[in-house]
Amino acid sequence: MCDIPHMTGQSDDASKRTIRGILAARDIRIGGSRPWDLRVKDERFYRRVLAGGSMAFGESYMDGWWECERIDQLVVRILKDDPQAHLGVPWPVLAQAVASSLFNAQGRQAAFRNGQAHYDLGNDLYRTMLDPRMVYTCAYWKDASDLASAQEAKLDLVCRKIGLKPGQKILDIGCGWGSFLKFAAERYGAAGVGITVAEEQVKLGQELCKGLPIDLRLQDYRDVRGEFDHVVSLGMFEHVGRKNYRAYMQAAARCLKDGGLFLLHTIGTNVSGTRFDPWMDRYVFPNAQLPSVKEISAAAEGSFVMEDLHAFGPDYDRTLMAWQENFRNGWSGLADRYDVRFRRMWDYYLLACAGSFRARQNQLWQFVFSKEGVPGGYASIR
C-alpha cells in the first residue's frame, strides 16, 4: 500500500535525509502545513521505516510516531512512484512471496482462520461503520448522494445484471451478513443460500434475514452442493488465493444451472502476481491476494464465457471515505471495547485503501459469466 523502501545500516541523520528525500520527490514535506504533509513526533521514525519498509510505516502510525491530516492524500502521492523499483525489494516482502508460492494459505482450514480474523472482529464495529444494510463491499455512486442509497444501488445493479426474477434461487459465495440476499428477497421475491467462513456474520445475518427464504451457512465454497438459478460473489474473491482460483470457478460453475449467470464482484490489481502489502496482510486481511484481469480470465477458462466486465474502482474511494467518516463519528460508542491503537490502525486501513483506489493502483470489477454464452448476446447493464 505505502511502498516505503527497506534499508539498513544507515545513521540516524542519513536515515532522516533518505526519508525526507523520498517524500520530497512526491511533494510531501516533513513538518509542512498541507493536509498530506507528515508531522513526525518521534525521531526514531526515520530509521524504523528504513529498516521495516511499509510494515514499519503503518506500525509507526499505529504507535503515534507520526501524524497526517489526510492520510488518503498522502498515500496518493506515495503511490505516484514505487521506490522499491529503485532501491530494491525488502526481504520480508521477498520471504512472503516465496512462502505464498510454496504453501496454500487459503486452504479449507486456513480460509476459516483468515476470514474470522477480520470479519469476526465485532458486529458492533461493522454496524457503526457500514450502511443500515451492512454491505461491506464497494457502493455504486452513479446516481447516489449518500452511502445507504449507493449501497442499495449496487445491490439492485447486481440483481438487474443477473436478470433476477421472482422465485429464483441464488447462491451468494461470501455472503457477509446476508445483505444481498435480504435485498434480493425483499425487492425481487428471490430465495437464496449464503455461505461465509465468519461465525459472527452467520449469527447476526440469520437474525437480520429472519422470516425470509434465506439460508445462511458457515461453509467453505469448496463444499457447496446443489443447483442455483444464479451465483453471486461480492467481495470474497480477494480471499481465495491464486492457487485456488480455478477450483473456485469450478465450484461456481458446478452450482450454476444451465442458462444462469454468475456475477463476480472483486477488488483487483493492475499486474498479475502483485504482492499484497505486508502491513495489510498482518493487521487487516491475513493471506489476502488481489487478482488481475488476466488471472481471473485464465481461471474461468473451461468453466465460463465472460459476458461483461464493468470497472468502477473510483467508487471504492468514495465508499471507503464514507466508512471512515462513520467510524470516526461513531468512535465514542466503540472506545470501551477497542483501544486507541486499534482506532489508529483502522483509520490507517480505511484511508490508505481510499488513497490506493484514488491513485488507481487498486481496481473494482464486476464480471458477468455464463456457462455456454447468452443466446443472442448479453446486454450490458449500468
| Residue that has been written with the C-alpha cell 502489502 in this structure | 277
Torsions phi, psi for 369 (to 5 deg): -120, 145
Q: Where are the domains of the chain?
A: 12-102, 108-370
User: What CATH number does the domain located at 108-370 have?
Assistant: 3.40.50.150
73: cell is 492524500
| Residue that has been written with the C-alpha cell 461470501 in this structure | 174
* Active-site annotation holds for 353: yes
195: cell is 455461505
For the chain, 382 residues long, give each residue's pLDDT as a single digit of tens: 555 544 444 557 899 999 999 999 999 999 999 999 999 999 999 999 999 989 999 999 999 999 999 999 999 999 876 544 333 334 334 334 433 444 455 565 666 677 777 888 999 999 999 999 999 999 999 999 999 999 999 999 999 999 999 999 999 999 999 999 999 999 999 999 999 999 999 999 999 999 999 999 999 999 999 999 999 999 999 999 999 999 999 999 999 999 999 999 999 999 998 888 899 999 999 989 999 999 999 999 999 999 999 999 999 999 999 999 999 999 999 999 999 999 999 999 999 999 999 999 999 999 999 999 999 999 999 9
pTM higher than 0.85 for the full model?
yes
Question: Which residues on neighbouring strands pair with residue 262, listed in sequence order?
Answer: 231, 369
Q: Which residues contact 377 (CB under 8 A, 6 or more apart)?
A: none
* Plot region of 163 (φ>0 → left; ψ -120 to 50 → alpha; else → beta): left
150: cell is 449507493
Catalytic residue among 68, 138, 159, 353: 353
Q: Specify the pLDDT at position 100.
A: 42
